[in-house]
Amino acid sequence: MARAKLSGFPEFLPAGRVVEQRVLAAIAETFELHGFGSIETRALETMESLTRKGEIDKEVYAVKRIHAAADEPAEFGLHFDLTVPFARYVLENAGQLQFPFRRYQIQKAWRGERPQEGRYREFLQADVDVVGQGSLAAHHDVELPLVTLAALEKLHVDFSVPTVTMSVNNRKLSEGFYRGLGVAEPMAVLQRVDKLDKIGPEKVAELLRSELGMSAAAAASCLKLAEIRTPDTSFVDRVRAIGVTHPLLDAGLAELADVVEAAAKLVPGRLVADLKIARGLDYYTGTVYETVMDSMESMGSISSGGRYDSLASDGKNTYPGVGLSIGVSRILVPLIGRGALDASRPVPSCVLVAVDSEETRLAANETAAKLRARGIAAEVSPDAAKYGKQIRYADRRGIPYVWFSPGQVKDIRSGEQVPADPESWMPAAADLRPRVLSAGSGR
Amino acid sequence: MARAKLSGFPEFLPAGRVVEQRVLAAIAETFELHGFGSIETRALETMESLTRKGEIDKEVYAVKRIHAAADEPAEFGLHFDLTVPFARYVLENAGQLQFPFRRYQIQKAWRGERPQEGRYREFLQADVDVVGQGSLAAHHDVELPLVTLAALEKLHVDFSVPTVTMSVNNRKLSEGFYRGLGVAEPMAVLQRVDKLDKIGPEKVAELLRSELGMSAAAAASCLKLAEIRTPDTSFVDRVRAIGVTHPLLDAGLAELADVVEAAAKLVPGRLVADLKIARGLDYYTGTVYETVMDSMESMGSISSGGRYDSLASDGKNTYPGVGLSIGVSRILVPLIGRGALDASRPVPSCVLVAVDSEETRLAANETAAKLRARGIAAEVSPDAAKYGKQIRYADRRGIPYVWFSPGQVKDIRSGEQVPADPESWMPAAADLRPRVLSAGSGR
């Protein structure tokens, strides 16, 4: 009698969790190879620090002691991303950190929203950021998407997760372009252009004219800019051809060209300049990134981020940063759910040590201990049943080998049984740990 | 201007987090070598499932959407341990799990209590349990403390975490003994004997007489039982010598003797029978465990657990289990806080690739990529400053090597600089990753 599961709170069965562990290890390894260190922050932030950003607070889960008075306001909320906690961590520990500070952070976050396809109320994110004290060089805007793409590429190569396409834009480019057109409030234009995919170009032009009072020609220029999408630096000439000029536009074009040029060389085909990308959050001030899985674009962005020049600030310093977040749950929950990713077995055990009788359990334990000392995961049969039943126990769990005393090991897939010494026997390398299987790969 | 930190919510600086990562990996590796698989459950449970156990609900953090009506009861609470969520997970997924189900779970838990020494409002636990469907053999009561001790022993051997002593008792033993004395409510006796360390034997005897109406002789017998503490099975004879008999006492003595005998053989000196151990939670029904770090006993138990015959139950089956929980925060927060455990460097980077000028940054990136492809963590200098400044950048982070183009690597500790090829050079093995240092070990 299985109880109903709670919608929006994905949990994996053990085989799915094996996949998740491997994916997380691959992401963490990539980040560390690039010199980013791990931090973890508490799940609870003060309400004050969570609600500073305006509209986001709609989705916060408020937390208070169950015995607090009903009218007592909630002291804490669960973090809804890893950026706000990171900013708080940087301010609290600035005196003990070295800047630029390179960190990654793999943790759950929570949003009290209505669950829907690809949106969860509890979800796992992997964030990677670099933060400076006072200033942060522009080349980090090139570095961070490349680190993120390296992690996502590793998931593709190692586990056959679909390839990705990262779309990149630059707020300075858009803002400079709009200012070059004489627009006083470029954010208002950006917000409307951001609706392009939802409502189409004609309605966006209509909004720009009716709500912002733009001329038909200016609105058309905005749409022309938004249409530009190139896998190389040819976007620069196409923007120039529209004929708008502004110093901020020049800066944005140069920064974006640097990102696209480096990516074309290092991860060809994975990154495109896409001048309609806006990203909702208003703290981005330069490069912005979003990423879809190829052939699964409808899932939405699985990795986004950008440059923020004023994420955190105390009285003395501002802390500019740039980074991206990988939506681990958004990638894995559908892939594991539909069986596109699975584990070769749901248990770590490589060997089941059979037990002849309860009197000889200690000897079986000693055999298992010898295997473990050499890195071979082993469990001892829970009962001294007939050998056939013990083999079925292993088979149901996908455990490939059964060990019989005194020193025989059976590969239960082939049936082959050979004499073996627990101090020297090794399983086939592919059997040592559970492997990640993808639907396309041979099982 | 560092902001005040929130009491009861420990967070580590990057070096402390390196230690925590290594410790968690060592614990997980030990559990997996013993055939326990990882699961994670959501942080939020329904209020209904969290408050079923009576008094515990005092400490629950209630969670509700910030825009829920003020008088709307909280839908969720943060889990306060990993046992309640595990029981819920087993019931929800019973049809897809193989029993006995062996799982470990390393996650944070939350309690809304007043923070004090060794007690946190957010803390990390590592739980390991085996759960049967309908029944679960007694030998698992021997297996689980040994797995836990193996993990704690690995922390001692690998990282010089203090050794531990695990104290074990058995509820059947206590209950059978009290019933043999004619006591109708053995739990009431157990509760009072549990106060022995706090109020002393005379006051416990007084409570047993005045509150439970026991005779002076019976109360004295209870205290005699509670005094017994042996590293071997000699406790059996000492209990027999008191002269109380009961079938349940016999069962408890036999079960406890099995645990002590196996442990004396496999982890000599780490486990003792201690017949005053009670453990507060009333769902334990057999063996109970608690563990102190030697020389840090005042910190309280860093690993406890026991046998529960009815942790979870649906209409059809009960799910008996046995397991322990390692209090990772309780071990690490004080050890890292006072510097007894530290990391050899707070960053993963083994190599800093120096940059001559911004024009040659791409070449530096390529050198770093070649090192990373061979498993050597490398970062590229954030600016093309003078070499002396770049070396100081590495030094402040504990990065041992600086790479100069075209192909020279300097060990900045010794000052030795040698020609090197990024396709073949390897650092000293001890430098490849940050190491855990303990106060006693050579740095």
d(CA A42, CA A110): 13
Q: Mark yes or no for CB contact A58/B43 under 8 Å.
A: no
pLDDT at A442: 42
pLDDT at B114 over 90: no
Question: Mean pLDDT highest for which of A53-62, B38-47, B189-198?
Answer: B38-47
Smallest CA–CA distance from A266 into chain B, residue: B366
The pLDDT of residue A1 = 36
pLDDT of chain A along its 443 residues, tens only?
345 688 899 999 999 999 999 999 999 999 999 999 999 999 999 988 887 655 555 689 999 998 888 788 888 999 999 999 999 999 999 999 999 999 999 999 999 887 677 789 999 999 999 999 999 999 999 999 999 999 999 999 999 999 999 999 999 999 999 999 999 889 899 889 988 988 999 999 999 999 999 999 999 999 999 999 999 999 999 999 999 999 999 999 999 999 999 899 888 999 999 999 987 666 788 999 999 999 888 889 999 999 998 888 888 899 999 999 999 999 999 999 999 999 999 999 999 999 999 999 989 999 999 999 999 999 999 999 999 999 999 999 999 999 998 899 999 999 999 999 999 999 999 999 999 999 865 43
Q: What is the mean pLDDT of residues B60-80?
A: 88
Least confident range of A72-81, B46-55, B275-284: B46-55
pLDDT surpasses 70 at B383 = yes
Higher-confidence residue of A214 and B1: namely: A214
Provide the token pair at A411: 């590969």
Q: What is the pLDDT of residues A122-134, one digit of tens each?
A: 999 999 999 999 9
Percent of chain B with pLDDT over 90: 80
CATH tag, A347-433: 3.40.50.800
Q: Which of B137, B358, B368 sits opposite A382 (nearest CB)?
A: B137
Within 13 Å and on the Cβ side, how many CA atoms surround B36?
A: 27
Higher pLDDT among residues B400 and A74, named by residue? B400
Q: Which of A61, A332, A371 to mutate to test the interface with B (most CBs of B within 10 A)?
A: A61
Q: ∠ CA(B53), CA(B54), CA(B59), 5° rounding?
A: 95
Is A415 an interface residue toward B (CB < 8 Å)?
no
Nearest beta carbon to residue B11 from set A41, A139, A375: A41
Domain A14-38+95-107+117-342 adopts which CATH fold? BirA Bifunctional Protein; domain 2 (3.30.930)
Residue B378 to residue A42, Cβ atoms within 8 A: no
Whether residue B100 is preceded by a cis peptide bond, meaning omega within 30 degrees of 0, is: yes
CATH class of B9-152+328-341: alpha beta
DSSP for B41-110?
A: --SEEEHHHHSTTGGGGGGPEEEEETTS-TTSPP-EEE-SSSHHHHHHHHHHHGGGS-SSEEEEEEEEEE
Contact A262 B365 (CB under 8 A): yes
**Are B63 and A61 a contacting pair at CB < 8 A?**
yes
The interface residues of chain B toward chain A in range 165-224, judged by CB-CB distance below 8 A, are: none
Per-residue confidence band for B1, with pLDDT thresholds at 50, 70 and 90: very low
For domain B344-438, the CATH architecture is 3-Layer(aba) Sandwich (3.40)
| Phi and psi torsions of A268, nearest 5° | -55, 135
What mean pLDDT is predicted for residues B150-178?
96
**Whether B25 contacts chain A with CB within 8 A:** no
Q: CATH classification of B164-293, choosing from 2.120.10.80, 2.40.50.140, 3.40.50.720, 3.30.930.10? A: 3.30.930.10
Contact B3 A377 (CB under 8 A): no
Q: Do B97 and A67 touch (CB under 8 A)?
A: no
Nearest CB among A11, A39, A347 relative to B37 is that of A347
In chain B, what residues touch A42 (CB-CB under 8 Å)? 6, 9, 11, 122
* Strand partners for B277: none
Contacts of B114 in chain A (CB under 8 A): none
Q: Residue for token digits 């015995």?
A: A67
Residues of A in contact with B64 (CB under 8 A): 61-62, 112
Residue B2 has pLDDT above 70, yes or no: no
* Residue partners of B43: CB distance under 8 A and separation at least 6: A43, A78, A108, A110, A122, B78, B79, B107, B108, B110
Asked whether A61 and B66 are in contact (CB, 8 A), the reply is yes
Report the residue from A3, A95, A396 with minimal CB separation from B92. Answer: A3
Nearest-CA distance B37 → chain A (Å)? 5
Q: Do domains B9-152+328-341 and B344-438 have the same CATH topology?
A: no
pLDDT reported for residue A281: 60
pLDDT of residue B53: 54
User: What SS3 state is found at A333?
Assistant: helix
**Domain locations in chain B as residue ranges:** 9-152+328-341, 164-293, 344-438
Asked if A272 reaches chain B (Cβ–Cβ under 8 Å), the answer is no
A118 vs B309: CA distance, rounded Å: 39
Two tokens, residue B415:
């000052």
**Average per-residue pLDDT in chain B?**
93
